[in-house]
Amino acid sequence: MPRVFKIVPTTQKYDWGKIGLSSKVAQYAAAAKIPGFTLDEKAPYAELWMGTHPNGPSLVAGSDTTLAEYLAAHPELMGSKVVSRFRDAGAEEGNLPFLFKVLAIEKALSIQTHPDKKTAEALHNEKPNIYKGASCDSNANHKPEMALALTPFTAMCGFLPLSQIAGYLVSTLELAALIPKPITTQFLSAASSADSSSPEAKTALKDLFSALMTADEATFKARLADLVKRYEAGGATEREEGVKDLVLRLNSQFPGDIGVFCAFVLNYVKMQPGEAIFLAAGEPHAYVSGALYDPPIPEFSVLQVLVPGGQTEAHPPIEGPSIAIVTEGKGTLESAGEKLEVAEGDVVFIGAVTGVKLVAAEEGQLAIYRAFVEAS
């Protein structure tokens, strides 16, 4: 029984995905020759899923067997410690306790936040059909995220420093008009204090954000229209120059949406390929554009591997299973005397306690992202 083998990922089409072959998801799907995959140049290819999620289960390449079915029949590939540690996530039934994704984003995603583990368990127990966790249909996992940029990538994540938000409240009248004066006064006082992490400051930020998100619809639509008109006429202040383009972009994608005003309260992050951000539970975020890898954390890890042409990199055995995707180049994965040829778009499962050698072809670099879990 091989411990290293190819698997077939699945694609997900959502409105916010990149179109046709401009999408890394479509590029990898085409390169991997997913059975039945036919490129639609007008369709949005948003996500590539690699794992055992029932809504998009990977198959063992060359068969009709799902990865979950195969792992259930061969639990040694999961590793006994991982099966024991993640039993409540369906590990005994072959369900991996993580879902590895590639996202290709054309339009901004909705602003969201994920609960911590305690809240996730409570939500799952209360409404299991609605809150299903991060990896499979029947678990209560929380879902913190790590975003690893594959192409130039932008996101809004986490709150700006209170002093910076306060500056916008004072200078951007369209924003200030949406916040009741008592809440504004409370926030400006908290922002000017020495301890911006105090309970009072956190309460002030919570009240401000809540007031913004629940502002009267007619009012915020009118103020947003005023703001966009001013920016399009070149009337942005010096303080606003950093958010002007983001405001106009978000409004072009979601005209009249209250979320456009989040440009004034959330960090706007620009990343280059290979850079990453961590999104903790409870932290608001919205991906804006670009392609990224989305492995779950903190129980899980992701390894970026860059092997120069003609060279070899050896990875020692780890106690849990892993999934790797080739993002550039070609070469071989060697384990226990067997060789598996790989190229861009190929997705590979590596069983627990399995050492591998990654050998790049002579003509160019071999780039691989490997997501894995180990039981602590």
Backbone phi, psi, residue 320, to 5°: -120, 175
- HSE-CB at 77 with a 13 A cutoff on CA atoms is 22
CB 291 within 8 A of CB 150: yes
Distance CA(104)–CA(176), nearest Å, equals 34
Q: Across the strands, what pairs with 348?
A: 6, 324
* Interior/surface letters 91-108, b for 16+ CB within 10 angstroms, e for the rest: bebbbbbbbbbbbbbbbb
Give the integer Cα–Cα distance in Å for 269 and 112: 16
**114 in a known ligand binding site:** yes
Encoding tokens for residue 240?
């606003």
- Distance of alpha carbon 319 from alpha carbon 353, whole angstroms: 5
Residues across the chain? 376
**Which amino acid would we find at residue 285?**
H
| Residue 203 C-alpha from the chain's centroid | 28
The three-state (H, E, C) secondary structure of 114-178, written as one string: CCCHHHHHHHHHHCCCCCCCCCCCCCCCCCCEEEEECCCEEEEEEECCHHHHHHHHHHCHHHHCC
Q: How far apart are CA 131 and CA 351, in angstroms?
A: 29
304 among annotated binding-site residues: no
**Are the beta carbons of 112 and 99 closer than 8 angstroms?**
no
Residue 112 is assigned to a ligand binding site: yes
**Which amino acid would we find at residue 175?**
L
Q: d(Cα 209, Cα 258) in Å, to the nearest integer?
A: 11
The answer on whether 53 is annotated among ligand-binding residues is no
Detail the residues annotated as belonging to a binding site.
112, 114, 145, 285
Detail the residues annotated as belonging to a binding site for Zn(2+).
112, 114, 145, 285
